[in-house]
Amino acid sequence: MEGRSSGILLPVSALPGPFGGGTLGGSARQFIDFLAQAGQHYWQILPLVPPGGGESPYMSPSSFAGNPLYLDPELLAEDGLLTREELESARYPGSPDRVDYPWLHETRPPLLRRAWERGREKYAGELREFLEEEADWLPDFAFFLALRAYFDGAELKDWPAPARKRDPETLERLREELSGEIAYHAFLQMLFVRQWTAVRTYAHEKGVSIIGDLPIYVSPDSAEVWGNPHLFLLDEDFVPTAQAGVPPDAFSATGQHWGNPLYDWSYHKKTGFQWWKRRCSHMARLYDVVRIDHFRAFHTYWSIPAGAEDAREGCWKKGPGMPLLKALKEVEGLQLIAEDLGDLDDGARAFIAKSGLPGMKILVYAFDPVGESAYLPHNCPVNAVAYTGTHDTPTFVQWLFDEATEGERQYAFDYLRLREDEGFGWGAICGAWMSPCRLAIAPMQDLLGLGADARMNAPGTMGAENWSWRVREAALNPDVAQRMRHITRTYRRS
């Protein structure tokens, strides 16, 4: 990331379009065109992996796979994998403002099955090559999903012991019995890589780079835990002996108990962090820059014992530290951003500074009316990314009127010179864009001045509104693009 630049945060799921949720087709290209018109050089997204419980992309069954719900039906029809009638049935009849996950989970799989039936012979050779190229993760992932369906959707911990513990004879029998189902899931991943690669290529042609997101943990119900249990702290039944989370913080008085298994860092260190290097090599093929979620866990991580009622029973433990970061810096083509938010002690702050990675400065956390905040634009360093907010924070307008104290609100008005006729979201963007930070990012919601109903996620909750907001196509208009371009020029980020 050279010079001063800027971009927009918008998950793929939040793209507009007729298919009930964002896809990797025309709507992705439309948004890239909007970014180019707005003078932006970065599109930041959330993890592309299949979501887990509550549709969270941070509780995924895979660290490598793509979400098949992002496959664009129009592109599948162009490839002859869907008929025009089937394409019409993929169009969502409800509101364009939310992803309807239940509807997608009910209607999309039958269409993808039909695409597989039409494409299994046509793409047989290509699929064999793809499986060989992705041999370090795809066979296990496809087999894992096939087994999950075979066991009626049961989580890994509830599978029969021979399959869960990878008894060789059992797996050999099931692999043969489920060969068609395994090939189906591999086929979807091949289509995903094809569609995503085309999107990224188009972005590069328009001068836009992609910032991806690496969730630090995986789900206990994942292909990684099943296929590589030695990577994690598990008991003999593959149940986590300790789980991830964070202590009480601004989001929760009892802390956050995420439920992810923790890594066996002693094992990873013995291997030279090979799994992590493979994972990040995969990320470098998908993205131009990668944000490492919960980066402070490289230094110290919160360990919650099995059976704990909430996160308050956890304690800090030493993470892998600089040896892991040094290994990741050896990965070719990998640029990193450190998500360094949350309550940090002096040791964690020193570690993050020593890493040399740009951290994150969040505007909605800046306006202490009494003290001095490191997030105020004038205090932000060059080697950082200034955000108006993130997918986990309230939108700026929501924070300003629903969550800020009277003192915080008044200070924000004074500092940013906020005016209703100009738009409060635009004032926030000017604040982030004027900072010394090399890169500035704003969620699309803040460009549009949206409030609480447009929040992407409320951490520590499983609400139906989480991960479901979508932008309307009409919002990606020349007036918004031109205003964004003007601000970007004004603060010399173009």
Kindly name the residue from 86, 100, 392, 473 that is annotated as catalytic: 392
> For residues 290 and 288, what is the distance between their CA atoms, to the nearest angstrom?
7
Residue 264 annotated in active site: no
Q: What is the DSSP string of 262-295?
A: PB-HHHHHHTTSHHHHHHHHHHHHH-SEEEETTG
> For residues 324 and 274, what is the distance between their CA atoms, to the nearest angstrom?
10
Q: What are phi and psi of 442, to 5 degrees?
A: -130, 135
Closest CA to 14 of 35, 33, 28: 28
Q: What is the DSSP string of 417-448?
A: T--TTT-HHHHHHHHHHTSS-SEEEEEHHHHT
3-class DSSP assignment, residue 229: helix
> For residues 336 and 357, what is the distance between their CA atoms, to the nearest angstrom?
7
Which residue shows structure tokens 């007036």?
479
Mark out the alpha helices in 38-135 (DSSP H runs).
73-78, 84-89, 101-119, 124-133
Q: Which residues have C-beta within 8 Å of that of residue 358, sequence separation ≥ 6? A: 1, 337, 338, 383, 384, 385, 437, 438, 439
Asked if 484 and 38 count as a contact pair (C-beta separation under 8 A), the reply is yes
Q: What angle separates helix 424-433 from helix 406-416, to the nearest 10 degrees?
A: 70
Kindly name the residue from 72, 221, 288, 293 that is annotated as catalytic: 293
Q: What are phi and psi of 360, to 5 degrees?
A: -120, 135
Residue 72 annotated in active site: no
> For residues 58 and 69, what is the distance between their CA atoms, to the nearest angstrom?
16
> For residues 389 and 364, what is the distance between their CA atoms, to the nearest angstrom?
6
Residue 293 annotated in active site: yes
Cα atoms found within 13 Å of the Cα of residue 2, Cβ hemisphere only: 0
Which residue shows structure tokens 């895979």?
62
Asked if 232 and 262 count as a contact pair (C-beta separation under 8 A), the reply is yes
Kindly name the residue from 134, 339, 408, 446 that is annotated as catalytic: 339
Which residues are identified as catalytic?
293, 339, 392
